Structure 1
Amino acid sequence: MKNIFYSIWMFFALILMWSCDNVDFGDVNDNPNGATEPNPSSLLANAMVTYATMTGGDYLIRPTLYVQYQSQVTYTNLMRYSETPSTWFLYYTGALEDLSATISFAEDPANQGADLDAQGYPDNQIGVAKLMMAEIMKRVTDCYGDVPYSEAFQGLDNLSPAYDSQESIYDALFELVKEARDMMDESEAGPTGDVIFHGDVLKWKKFANSLLMQMAIQLSNKYPDPSGKAATEFVAALNDSNGVIETVGDEPWFTYEDLVGFRNPWFANRTRDYFLSQEFTDALHGYATDLNPTSNTTYDARLEVYSTDAGLDGVPYGYRDESGAGKNQMSTANYWNATSPLPMMTASYTWLNRAEAAALGWTSEDPETMLVSGIELSYETLDAHHGTSISSQADAYIQARLIDVANYGMLQVIAEEKWVSLFGEGFDAWAEWRRTGIPDLKPAADYINGGTIPQRYNYPTEESSLNNENYTKGVSTLEPAQDNNTSKVWWAQD
């Protein structure tokens, strides 16, 4: 077992299994008598573990409530859109700080040599860290709007970092991802601290291109033209020789162990407080009810994977007082379990992004073919990671959805299928809904914030008091310019 020193927050020191193939996480532990300087492997591994295990309202639950995957029955304020500041502590002082330190260490000429090379080709270490930084920074800016980036990660040297505009952050992330992809060399050793793809550099390059495509689609309302920035970035990533995520084997999934600090993050939340929403279960049942926010009227077997009992209804969304008696919950076998796996990015999502790009006229691909592949891969990856057998039911569902395309339009069905397939990836689902407004979600009946589904997180409390000048500038670019959860971030503004 390697003896690896972690920095002050690196107390996660057991075993996490995290990969698309359920490959062993590797041995990582803390030796108080070991070296006193962190190395890139420990920093990179800890950043990934931190990102995989974030739990609680701000880091996990809110988006799944906002997109109405779930309803609350006990403490209902989050579901009813309470205006409470949200923390970004674990992002900036945890995962992102570790990634920044990984990059700085591997880039420092003073650290070059056999010891660094033993942890993987330095450019591959840097490239993977940059891709993880882009993945996390996208989530942060999507949640808040303008946030610290160019002056972040300086620790005590800068306690009042400037806020970068969301537009400039996206521009920087496009360049960061391409830089990371192009600097990596699959003929050289991958990082030993990589607990996602375990040093498979080509898979990281496919992830890079898929992330570029996701970011481009997120900006489709800002740059809708087929010759515009978003389409150009999308097409370049799609056509890159390294490829994109297309199969289950290309996907990064997180698998967990029943050990403190390494459990599935949903497991830390009390199951009796959360139930699937009836809006979601009606959509998957294919019920033609007022609660079903989609055009689907065909049974979707994915309900059998997502829920504890496919025969039960969920809890109607958005009410102050509801009972969960006899209602459906997120599957305790497949999701709400200490060792249940969770996706980071799926092939289904990439195919559906390709379907949307084709429907927008950005590419010459056939949107129907891409849509079919997206649904097929959604079924396949659930079977692969949860041991279920629903793929045989995919074709009948697909044929019904193609009829819906004729009746409701390709873009609507694509967006609805993203909503269904992104279950378990609440942040991406929330970003998609804020961009498209599909499916047709209705605000919580017993709302707290004025009756609007949240568009963002409120900035952390300490920002207004300790970094007020930059906080004020960040608020000024929202629409309206108020630190409310109903204000729109840049890419959601008209």
Structure 2
Amino acid sequence: MKINKIILAIMVVAQLFTITSCNNDFEEVNTNPNDPSAVPASLLLASVIYNAGDQVQSPFLAGEAGSCWVQHLGKPVYNDNELYIPRQNSIENLWSILYSRVLKDADVMQQLAAEEGNSNLQGVALVMKAYAYQVLTDAFGNIPMSEALKGDQGIITPVYDDSETQVYPTLLSMLDNAMTLLNGNGDIDPSQDLLYAGDYTKWKKFAASLKFRVLMRASSSNNPALGNIPAQLSALVNSGNLFGSNDDEAKLVYLGAEPNANPYFEGIVNGGRTNEWCLGEELVEFMKSTGDTRLPVYAQEVGGNGSGNGYVGKPAGIEDIANSPFGDSNNVSLIGEAYLEATAPAYFMSNAQLKLLMAEAAEKGYIATPVDAATFFNEGVAASCAANGVATFPITYNGGAAGLQQIAEQSWVALYMQGFEAFAEWRRTGIPNLPLAQDAVESSIPSRFNYPISQQSVNGLNYTDAVSAQGTDNLTTSLWWQ
């Protein structure tokens, strides 16, 4: 349905008053606010990217749940989250911000771009929508999608779509459409494009690489709605549109000061909480055992860099942390300084992750390519090391079942500080075999987030139907791709 552009643009301006007031460096508004019909679609792009980045880099959900539950990070104090008690307000924020500030704005941007005849910007909007929907469905399972974002049509209680048979096939369709639309027709304002500075060819690579990730996550399914997964993976490899280097990966590089700095810098460094976070024991010991050159970047030495005291991680959990040696931040390795910088990036998808997924696909015979699994594996490890500014370390790919374990282990390591994605990939592979947190309130490591509590009141009937279809709304209900 064609949107009345003047009415829609007024809505855009209203949204900008609520979003850009604290993000002025990211959004340069060069249009006359008294002439709403002149507002271009591109004006929404920066806020879409920025709000998505802030959520996937949120210390108090991506960090306290995602990164802590895969035992990359730990909390020497205030560690209820390690016992599998997440912050419910953070779950609420993830849901509401991805829907209202990322998906809705991307949807508006897509429709405005269509009216402007800007196919490139339509493609960008579809990539960001697919990205946000995958974050949501991988976090919760069944989610509103087909009826979401339609409040202007009177749909304020959208149904929840089945993740396997409806959401994931739609993600694939969105990304296919995005790759078709990203054809060089129409401008992407470089000042608003915080990922690729207006380069549509790199957005196309992001779309293709994201589709590869979606397909690999769904690769255990036999659902016909997903199509022939190996054939689609092979087509992506043959297209030449996947990430070719770290220069292609999708990451938001923050600015050097609040309010546009990395959320870990704002919440932990400026918040005076650096001593409240440390590395997990499982990650530290694994990296020490392999001689991993990334460890001095991931972590600080016990007592601070230069102490010579080496690296120590905290075991997951421990309810009475105050009476444990691990409750003293001087006894554990804090988060590496590079990851707490104001300009540290938020990753939407890294080249390292793609290469390791390609290694898995090659090892399992999903893709036929002159490049074997060992080459993709080595490229993935090297890409992660390069992103951390260190030389790679000696590691020999073994192939077969042992090789698949190596791929999953190195993916786990490479996704450090990418909490939601690390949590998703660990749930998919189950590697490494992590111990249950000490004093855990659940019988197993969580499999998902519970739905926001508000859904029970604002969309109760559809919430109830979703729970009936998927299983009890708790943290340990498994998702279909695990």
TM band (smaller chain): 0.7 to 0.9
Report the more deviating stretch, 125-134 or 56-65.
56-65
Corresponding position of 2:3: none
| One-letter amino acid of the counterpart of residue 164, structure 1 | D
2:459 alignment partner, one of 434, 445, 467: 467
| Counterpart AA for 1:301 | T
The one of 70, 73, 76 aligned to 2:73: 70
Instruction: Decide whether the 8 Å contact of 2:65 with 2:86 is kept in 1.
Output: no
Tell me the equivalent position of 2:344. Answer: 340
Gap regions ≥5 residues in structure 2: 1-11
**Are residues 1:166 and 2:167 paired?**
no
The residue type equivalent to 2:18 in the other structure is W
- Write the distance in 2 (CA, Å) between the matches of 1:14 and 1:228: 41
| CA deviation after TM superposition for structure 1 residue 149, in Å | 0.8
Q: What is the TM-score of this pair, normalised by structure 1?
A: 0.83
Question: How far apart are the structure 1 equivalents of 2:98 and 2:135?
Answer: 10
Alignment of 1:43-442 (within 5 A): 43-54=44-55, 55-82=58-85, 85=88, 86-87=91-92, 88-108=95-115, 112=116, 122-155=118-151, 157-167=154-164, 168-186=166-184, 188-192=186-190, 193-223=192-222, 229-241=228-240, 243-267=241-265, 268-269=267-268, 270-286=273-289, 298-309=290-301, 311-320=310-319, 321=321, 322-323=326-327, 324-332=329-337, 334-365=338-369, 366-383=372-389, 390-391=390-391, 394=392, 396-399=393-396, 402=397, 405=398, 409-442=402-435
Instruction: Report which stretch shifted further, 51-60 or 414-423.
Output: 51-60
Structure-2 change in CA distance of 1:31 and 1:62 (3 Å): farther
RMSD of the TM alignment (CA)? Answer: 2.4
CA distance in structure 1 between the aligned counterparts of 2:223 and 2:296, rounded to whole angstroms? 37
**Aligned mates of 1:33, 1:134 — CA distance in 2:** 30
The letter of the residue matching 2:125 is A
User: How many residues of Structure 1 are paired with residues of Structure 2 in the alignment?
Assistant: 439
Q: How does 1:20-35 map to 2 (within 5 A)?
A: 28-29=28-29, 34-35=34-35
Cα distance in structure 1, aligned partners of 2:430 and 2:198: 38
Give the direction of change, closer, same or farther, for the CA distance of 1:408–1:124 in structure 2 (3 Å limit): closer
Q: Which amino acid aligns with 1:485?
A: L
Q: Is the 8 A contact 1:13 1:30 kept in 2?
A: no
2:331 partner SS: coil
Give 3-state SS (helix, strand or coil) of 1:482's partner: coil
Partners of 1:339 and 1:330 in 2: CA distance:
15
Alpha-carbon contact 1:210-1:245 (below 8 Å) kept: yes
Q: Which residue of 2 aligns with 1:289?
A: none
* Alignment gaps of 5+ in structure 1: 17-24, 113-120, 287-297, 384-389
Alpha-carbon distance, 1:379 to partner: 1.0
SS at match of 1:253: strand
- 1:246 CA displacement: 2.1
Give the CA deviation at 1:96: 1.1
Displacement of 1:44? 1.4
3-state SS of 1:222 partner: coil
Work out whether residues 450 and 474 of structure 2, in 8 Å CA contact, stay in contact via their aligned partners in 1: yes
SS of equivalent residue, structure 1 residue 315: coil
Task: Give the superposition deviation at 1:398.
Answer: 2.1
| In structure 1, C-alpha distance between the alignment counterparts of 2:449 and 2:208, rounded to whole Å | 28
The question of whether the paired residues in 1 share the 8 Å contact of 2:408 and 2:431 is answered with: yes
Q: Which residue of 2 aligns with 1:10?
A: 19
1:338 offset after TM fit, Å? 2.1
How far the C-alpha of 1:32 sits from its partner, in A, is 9.4
Residue 445 of structure 1: how far off its partner (Å): 1.2
Q: Deviations over 1:207-261 (max 9, x none)?
A: 1111111011101222499x973222212222224x2102121122222124433
2:203 is paired with a residue whose SS is helix
**In the superposition, relative to structure 1, how do residues 329 and 35 fare at CA in structure 2: closer, same or farther (>3 Å)?**
farther
Structure 1 window deviating more from structure 2 (54-63 vs 414-423): it is: 54-63
Report the CA distance shift for 1:407/1:356 in structure 2 as closer, same or farther (over 3 A): closer
Select the structure that is richer in helix.
Answer: 2
Residue 335 of structure 2 aligns to a residue whose secondary structure is coil
TM-score, normalised relative to structure 2? 0.85
- The aligned amino acid for 1:177 is L
CA distance in 2, matches of 1:244, 1:363: 14
Inter-partner Cα distance in structure 2 for 1:69 and 1:203: 30
Structure 1 range deviating more: 373-382 or 137-146: 373-382
